[in-house]
Each structure stands twice: as C-alpha cells, then as structure tokens.
Amino acid sequence: MPRDILSDEKIHPAIRDAIGTTHRDIVAEVKAAIEQHDVVVVGMKQNPFPKKVRALLKEHGIAFHYLEYGSYMGQWRPRLAIKMYTGWPTFPQVFVKGTLVGGFEDVKKLIEAGEFKVLLD
C-alpha cells in the first residue's frame, strides 16, 4: 500500500529547498550503509529495542552494520529526517539487502519463520 506524501505542488516554492536539504547528510549516510552492507540497523541510545535487535541478530550469527543517532535527549531532528525518508515511525529500523523489514518485533518474526535467512540469500 503506497503511503501518502504531500506532493511538491502543495509545497510553496520558497520552502521546497529547505525540505529537500534538511539533514540530507544523515539520510545519505544511511543510504550509503544500506548499499554497502547486507544488514543495517539504525538505532538510538536509551531505546531498548535497538539493543534487543542487535542481540537477536548476534544470537543467530547474522552480521550487521549499526548506525546510532542520539538518544531521547538529543539528535531528534536527524532521527526525524530518517523517519521521513523511510516512513517507519520508530527505531530500530532494520534493512536487509536494501529493503526495510521493520523493527525488533518484525525481525524476530522473520527469524522465527526462517524468512530472514531467505532474505539474505
């Protein structure tokens, strides 16, 4: 199901550039990691779920690349840029071979069903 995104025609020309360039460097860093690594986990400090998904991946011998952006006390704007890019509302955000597969619970279900390894092959 496609997600709703405000069309460029509904954004005033004076602010389009600000929308397109806000934290572009962070989004570029995430995109580069996704291109370079089979499994990428994007997370944040203090949130227990990025820790849980990393532990789960390690437990199953699945190598991953981890990117961390701030905590509840800081760097919320870069995290917001990542959320806007992916459309996923929470952290962690886990990518397998360039595809966003969700967060901790989603990865857990994929591993339990044997589908995670299939995605890697």
Question: Mean pLDDT by 10-residue block, N- to C-terminus, for the chain (121 residues)?
Answer: 87 91 95 98 97 98 97 92 94 98 98 96 90
In contact, 71 and 51? CB cutoff 8 Å: no
Domain boundaries, the chain: 10-120
Per DSSP, the three-state class of 43 is strand
Q: 10-120 — its CATH code?
A: 3.40.30.10
Q: Which of 121, 115, 114, 106 is nearest to 41 (CA)?
A: 106
Q: How many CB atoms neighbour CB 87 within 10 A?
A: 12
Question: DSSP letter at 2?
Answer: P
CB 87 within 8 A of CB 80: no
Measured in degrees and rounded to the nearest 5, phi and psi for residue 49 equal -75, -35
Task: Tell me what pLDDT residue 20 has.
Answer: 85
